[in-house]
Structure formats: structure tokens, C-alpha cells
Homo-oligomer: A and B are copies of this chain.
Amino acid sequence: MFKKVLVANRGEIAIRVLRACEERGIATVAVFSEADRSALHVRYANEAYCIGPAPSRESYLRMDRIIDVARKAGVDAIHPGYGFLSERAEFAAACAEAGITFIGPSPEAIEAMGDKITARETVRRRGVPLVPGSERGLRDEGLVAAAREIGFPIMIKAAAGGGGKGMRAVHDQGALVAAIGAARREAMAAFGNDEVYLEKLIANARHVEIQVLADSHGTTLSLNERECSIQRRHQKLIEEAPSVAVDEKLRKEMGQVAVAAAEAVGYVNAGTIEFLFDSKDNSYYFLEMNTRLQVEHPITELVTGIDIVKEQIAIAAGRKLRYKQADIIPNGWAIECRITAEDPYNNFMPSSGVVSYLKEPTGPGVRVESSLYEGMEISLFYDPMIAKLVVWGETRAEAILRMRRALNEYRIGGIRTSIPFHQEIMESTEFMWGTFDTGFLSRRRVGGMRPHLGEEEQLAAVVAAMLAHEEGRQATMHVGQADNGGKGEPVVGLWKQAGRMRAQRGRW
């Protein structure tokens, strides 16, 4: 087993991996950008080294610096987490050159699956069903022609893509060219490569994916499906396992197809096969394979009891899987809500600021994977996902009720978050019935208006008046307006107040 592992990532996933290492008795090394000096993952690791300024391309994407730190710290393996360098074949290769184990698949496997078009061709040979689409390397005119052939509606996707970046749905000829432009811009910004391709858009399709684990001794297991249809702009927001749309027979069949797809590229370690799933006739089509740990891996852990990150480490260390396919029996139901620093009532605008108060949910069946701490500064340098709230229940109904309970407990002060959005979804009958698809959000325009709070709104008014009264703000108010329209001087007033109220044993 490894003696020391470097985690080439930040945020909740870095902490997730550090925890797995600590629980395996492996020493840990974190890397951080100048913006992350006091981040949790830095404090959590046994060692931590700065690798550059805040922007990712100057720090978390700097392979050279990371490998340099790995060498100096004498680690024998690197875990890339998700995002950043996790799906860069050249990074996996660079690790190998440096004599360091990359905890993930081989560069060849990443390569083969990383290019979405090659991937489609590879798995097709193994009889994996595909959505009709365009071939590779087409310029705009070629794409327009291909679109006519495939027929609308169609989906534009980035060849180097992932995570929904550079994706666009187009419903008619007219909007096509503009959409291709936007998709190329996003793809270039996200992956430094603006190649895009087309796929037929399956209406009312679900996004169902299969988690696989493969060791270096020829065993590849399916850990069954995850339902990821609740998406906004092709970004997953809520995932659950199992899927209401998949029965035992289908689960077995899709699992076998997924294993075949993985074996098509001689895949080793943890990976995920994404399918487009058509509830109308239970047909499914290969979308892509993610050759890394997924954001939503915890829901699979909760229903299978298998610690996927620890298995990744064991596999990378050359261990045989301890399980047989027959041991993988789904137990209960798990749901994950992605907590992001975005304002659901302002078109999911990213929200920055300092986390001024934090109390995260806990208790039975609740798991929080979080990068949050009081005093944390949420910057706009990185992905807005700041935490994941995951629950387990004996049944789907219990899981939903538990998620509501946990969301109601979650307190994050100082920034806007997606929590009220998730509360809204957990209350929606469509979600409760499980009769949704990837079009769910666009149809119901969630988060458009904030819910009416009734008593709580009245109460907020009363509380504000009492605080103003207590503070004796009257005097300052006019002045405030006169001089600067009532802006400026935020916390200070409250601090003073805090002091005095504490003196009064917090009561009046």
C-alpha cells in the first residue's frame, strides 16, 4: 500500500480523498493556490504546499509544479479528484514518467474516452447503443448540413467536453449557427479546444449513469445506476440512486453494457458510463464515459456500502477487488443535492462573499461533503459548488423527507446559495412521483420567484423593526441617506450591538 499520497485538487473532493487516505493510514500532501491558504484541505492534510496564484491555470492546472511538489515531498501516488487535471491523459503520463502512481485509469484509456467522438466509435464495436450524431472535425457549414440529416431537435456538444460546458440544445435551423458559436466559445474557454459535434436530441430523456469499478486483475464490476436527470443547463443539481425508471432486469442489462464499454478500452479504476435513457420504451444510448471519480459518487456508496475512493486507492496499489458482482445489492435509497454559491432567485447568478455563519446538518442518515468554514471567502475563481448534501433512507420517500429535514437545518450566512432551490424541488409533486426527465427544470422555471413566506415574512419585518429600535438607528438614518444614500458601514454597527446584547445575556 502507498505510504504518502498527494491530492491534486481543492474543495470538498480534496477533503473527501484526504479522509479516505487518513482512514487507510496513508500520509497526505495537499497543494493550494494563494487564494486557498486557509482552505480546509490545506488544514486537513499532513503537509501542504503552495503551487501558485488563484487562477487555476496558474496553480491547480500546473502539472509541472504539482509533480515537482510530489517529488520533493516523496509521495508514491497522486489522486486527481474530479475536474482540473483528472481527465488529462498527459498528466497521468507525466506521473508515470516521474515514477508516481496516478490513482485513475491509464493515459490510453483517458485518451480513448476523453475524445467523445473516438469514444463513440470504440464502444459501438462492442455493441453499445449510440445516439445518432455527426462525425468529427466538421466546420460550421458541415455541422449545419449534418444537422439537416439528423433532423431537429439536436444537441451541440464539445468534443473535449464534460460537465455540460459547451452544450446547447437547438430546436430549429434558425437558431443553429448562433448556438454553435456560443458552444464553441464556451468549449474554448473551458477546454482550450472549440471542436463541437452534434447528436440527435431525445425528447424527455433521462440521464442515467452506471458506476463501474475495474481492478488490474481483469475484474470489472457494475455498482449500478445513478439517476441524474435534474439538470440546469446540462449541469447536474440533484442525483439519486437507484433510479425509479430502472427495474432489476434493466439494471442488470445496463450494468453489463457499461462493463463492456469499460472493457472496450481496457479500463482500470473507477469510472462512469453515462446513458441517455428514454422512459417511453426503456431504450438507452451511450453518451460518454467519465474516466474519473464523479461528484455524485456518494449516493452509490450509501446504497452499496462500498467506499469508492478507498477502492480507487486499493486498485491503484494493485489490489484485487474484494467483491463479486453478486455482492453488489442496492440497499435503500440515496439522494444528493449540490449546494452552490448561486442565487436561485436571480437566475443562478454566482454569489461571492464571506461565509459569516455556518451550521451544517447532521444526525441520522445525513452525510455532508463540504469545503465550507466560517470566515471562508467565496471567490469567483473556482466552481460555485461549495458542498454536497447527501442522505440515505430505507425508502425513496424516507430519503426525500430526510433531505427536506436536512435542507431546513442547513444555515449558511453571508452568501446566497442554492438551498431554497433544492427545498422547492423536494416539495414538488413531479419530483416526488419521480416522473421527471432532463427537461424538468426548463419546463417549470424553478427559482423564478421566491416562495411566499407568510408568517416568516411578517416576523422578519417585526425583527428588523426591533433591531432598529434597539440600535437607536433613527438618528443615523437621515444622515445616512443625506450623505451617501444609506450605504456603507456594514458589520461595525452589528458588532457593537453584539457586544452590548451579550452583556445583557443575549436577551431583552
Contact = CB atoms under 8 A, between A and B. Distances in A.
Interface string A3-18: 0000000000001100
Contact of A394 (B44, B307, B331): B307
A164 interface: no
A431 interface: no
A369 B373 CA distance: 20
Given A305-B331, A332-B305, A506-B38, A405 B363 contact: no
Nearest to A391: B23
26 contacts: A16-B364, A19-B363, A19-B364, A20-B364, A22-B404, A23-B401, A23-B402, A23-B405, A25-B401, A37-B507, A44-B409, A298-B364, A305-B332, A305-B394, A306-B394, A307-B364, A307-B394, A359-B373, A362-B362, A362-B368, A362-B370, A363-B368, A363-B369, A366-B367, A374-B374, A375-B506
A343 interface: no
A408 interface: yes
Contacts of A408: 22
A301 B363 CA distance: 12
Contact of A363 (B24, B367, B373, B398): B367
Given A373-B359, A394-B307, A301 B364 contact: yes
Interface in A489-508: 506-507
Interface string A368-383: 1110011100000000
A186 interface: no
Contacts of A305: 331-332, 394
A454 to B, nearest CB: 14
A374 to B, nearest CB: 8
Contacts of A37: 507
A360 interface: yes
Most buried by B among A24, A405, A409: A405
A333 to B, nearest CB: 12
Contacts of A298: 364
A25 B401 CA distance: 8
Give the oligomeric copy count. Answer: 2
A24 B235 CA distance: 31
Given A16-B364, A23-B402, A366-B367, 13 more contacts: A23-B401, A38-B506, A44-B409, A301-B364, A305-B331, A305-B332, A307-B365, A307-B394, A360-B362, A362-B369, A363-B367, A364-B367, A374-B374
Contacts of A38: 506
A365 B305 CA distance: 9
Contacts of A368: 362-363
A24 B401 contact: yes
A507 B377 CA distance: 14
Contacts of A359: 373
Interface in A301-330: 301, 305-307
Contacts of A301: 364
A200 to B, nearest CB: 39
Nearest to A400: B23
Closest 8 CB pairs of A and B: A362-B368, A22-B405, A23-B401, A19-B363, A23-B405, A23-B402, A19-B405, A307-B364
A300 to B, nearest CB: 12
Given A24-B401, A331-B305, A401-B25, A15 B394 contact: no
Contacts of A401: 22-25
B23 A398 contact: yes
Interface in A1-52: 15-16, 19-20, 22-25, 37-38, 44
